[in-house]
Structure 1
């Protein structure tokens, strides 16, 4: 029987766009890539709700305004943050506001209280959302997704290389082996396609310190009961580790990055996740005066804070290297009068060659500038991927969490980095024990920026990976096509009341 006019019209109506709910961890290194991801989804026609809190929402105003100007279907939803929570000073809603290591567990416990407000918000929306994508460190979203019958993916911030190491360490009992070991004993991470050695101190693991046991168990269960994973990486960088991770996890792994390459203009680069265009103009003007690939960029991320003694070693090392540099010093690091005085003297001695940026810096704009030829980094995955995506080789100085294994990937597997020589992690506010001296900085920076064949090979590899990163995000590239498949796979799906 021929279709009626009404049925033909129905057949021609496209299904509604899928609605993704993005729930980042309240830490800049986790929020920034998930904000980039949310914008990518919206640019490709999906509806997106990004869940945040008032303090963090204020930081994202620039992104929200930019999305509104572009008429993207991207909504920033601020849930009220729990107040009067035991052990957590009022006003703290982001990891980078913490000034005492004892406040971290209470902060994570407070975040779990967002489950009720999130569920109430989602129930009030119609139609039902297509998928919740939450940070691995937000396992409290699992019960919300289950109660509402909404599919859930987890976003994991590190590389697939690290995530595979971590999963294999748990599944093969590596942590039990390292528990009784001395600090120098080495262990091979099982199940890896390449040889990976760790010590007790550098073994993989998030939330696995004393006091975090319950949170870790909850996060592990939420990971294993999710419908898949989203990772900010690309196949040409980590293909063998992606395949192994997917097999070990037993569920789809969507590699959709580098998300940072979705920031194609100056406004996007400046506004992603913090303040809008504060230092960018002055930094760009300074970089414009420098030779191509001549400048070393130095930044240790949003969390790690250096005490004066180590800060002075970094500065003297950069000065003694003789290389042009941009050095980002946090406001909390520069507050002390002796540090202020010392930094001013350094700036006088290195005038015309060195630029000290106090506070926030437009990292993406810096790394994408033609003058920047090297990056001294804490080895957070966002920073490493941003550097690789722009063809910039690295000096690696890991501090904690995934950073030591990220260093192993960058230096030992990809061949685009020089290690500064750190062998043990530090807590965020405790770097006095770190044995890094100005001579280590000089050695590593000189090796990275040198004219030797080995330095040239690192630069060549970095540029090649940068080209592959851009291809991955372009139409027809692996990440672009994976995002297409992700959106289409949830176009017809929707939750049901639990």
Structure 2
């Protein structure tokens, strides 16, 4: 978190300070979304913001750019030349798990165009905030002489564990070990930390480069808030030896309906699609619906989809289940049984094929549970809206995020997913139905879990409101990088 000294409330929107932030998100959807939320938040406080990205990602952000223009926010999207085909990659490789590491490597080609863009600006920008996966950005910032912050998308709990593993060489540990220096007891293996599917030489080289780039930064920006992860933010800040600015939940950065409608919307659904979901939820009782979705990156095999569908059906609860078009198209078997499932659960279940307006769903009064892959964006969105979770991690930071939700925050019930060891680990329908029933059932434990989720939702809104911890941290961040007139005075 930022230095704790109190400052007077400072609404930058009323000033004329030429503060200019350059944001460099990773092109993967789960990375781009929170950084664009941050861009809108900064612009809403009067800072000029330029989001630098590839042409393909810029096209996907067109709705965000249009929304910013309508709101008269000083936010623009800057395209750098980048052709994925030059590296044998498809245009949408950022959302394809099979090309994730090659895409990380290919993006280093943006360093030259990015430096040229910075040097061509009439005035040096105030600060660059880059996604930690874009390690190449650090060298460019140092070459041009611009202050640098890194944005790390996962929870501070995960980030602290990851840094501890790297600092103490625990990445070589194959057996269970206890993480030193954490405020809570955390036992984990190498696979738990990084997920077995990423334990490759290429991934380890990428991680090494990312850690080296972090050491060149002047601080970090975290999508979290102090009333959720305050103890881990403090420990992470101490471990890094630099300020960590907790500015989230960034998903609460706007209430503009047009902006929310295109948030994460790469498939551009029609208004009818969204209204159909809302109308279905409107007909349901408060807190009765189970929402199930597994993010943009996870690809669920047809055998597992079968278990998900039947597990939701067997739970006896109303459910809204999002299935990716790619999952349906790749599995003829799904096309055989999914219509029958929809027919059997008509009126109680709704299957959305493709994209769904997640924030609108989670904020609806009818939703009482979220079956999630534990990606930090989804988990934080659920917490911010007071919805408890059934945790079903698949890879990367998700297993540690599950530990945070279940063991530390007390807002989740695990479905029983195991850390993968080279092959997908199936979860049976009975486990899904059991976890849903446990989360949404009666009893003191279930009631306490729901109470905690609601309380964290209230704290999240307080953190983002004027005077809240995240609001004040953003004020300090902008003040920290506001240009001076050369005499130490703000212009």
TM-score normalised by L of structure 1 = 0.91
Q: 2:454 aligns with which of 454, 463, 467?
A: 463
1:209 CA displacement: 2.9
Structure 1 residues 306 and 347, CA, compared in 2 at 3 Å: closer, same or farther?
A: same
Hey, what does 2:94 align to over in structure 1? 95
* Separation (CA, whole Å) in 2 of partners of 1:493 and 1:397: 49
Structure 1 residues 425 and 224, CA, compared in 2 at 3 Å: closer, same or farther?
A: farther
Hey, what does 2:9 align to over in structure 1? none
* Separation (CA, whole Å) in 1 of partners of 2:82 and 2:452: 45
1:121 CA displacement: 1.1
Give yes or no for the alignment of 1:375 onto 2:370.
yes
* Separation (CA, whole Å) in 2 of partners of 1:404 and 1:347: 31
The answer to whether the 8 Å contact 2:93/2:100 transfers is no
Hey, what does 1:170 align to over in structure 2? 166
Structure 1 residues 284 and 124, CA, compared in 2 at 3 Å: closer, same or farther?
A: same
Hey, what does 1:30 align to over in structure 2? 31
Q: 2:247 aligns with which of 249, 252, 256?
A: 256
* Separation (CA, whole Å) in 2 of partners of 1:113 and 1:414: 41
1:271 CA displacement: 1.1
- Secondary structure of residue in 1 paired with 2:201: coil
The answer to whether the 8 Å contact 2:172/2:190 transfers is no
RMSD of aligned residue pairs (Cα, Å): 1.9
Q: 2:223 aligns with which of 232, 236, 239?
A: 232
Q: 1:407 aligns with which of 384, 391, 402?
A: 402
Unaligned runs of 5+ in 1: 1-12, 179-184
Q: 1:198 aligns with which of 173, 188, 197?
A: 188
Q: Deviations over 1:129-169 (max 9, x none)?
A: 01000001000001110111000000000111111111111
1:364 CA displacement: 0.5
1:83 CA displacement: 4.8
Hey, what does 1:360 align to over in structure 2? 355
Q: Deviations over 1:287-343 (max 9, x none)?
A: 000000000000011011111111100000000000000000001111133212211
Give yes or no for the alignment of 1:80 onto 2:81.
yes
Hey, what does 1:214 align to over in structure 2? 205
The answer to whether the 8 Å contact 1:411/1:418 transfers is yes
The answer to whether the 8 Å contact 2:195/2:419 transfers is no
Give yes or no for the alignment of 1:313 onto 2:307.
yes
* Separation (CA, whole Å) in 2 of partners of 1:333 and 1:30: 22
Hey, what does 1:112 align to over in structure 2? 108
Structure 1 residues 69 and 15, CA, compared in 2 at 3 Å: closer, same or farther?
A: closer
1:82 CA displacement: 3.3
| Equivalent pairs, count | 468
* Separation (CA, whole Å) in 2 of partners of 1:454 and 1:383: 23
* Separation (CA, whole Å) in 2 of partners of 1:52 and 1:85: 17
1:238 CA displacement: 0.6
The answer to whether the 8 Å contact 1:204/1:405 transfers is no
Q: Deviations over 1:55-92 (max 9, x none)?
A: 11111111110000111100001111135434x23x42
1:236 CA displacement: 0.3
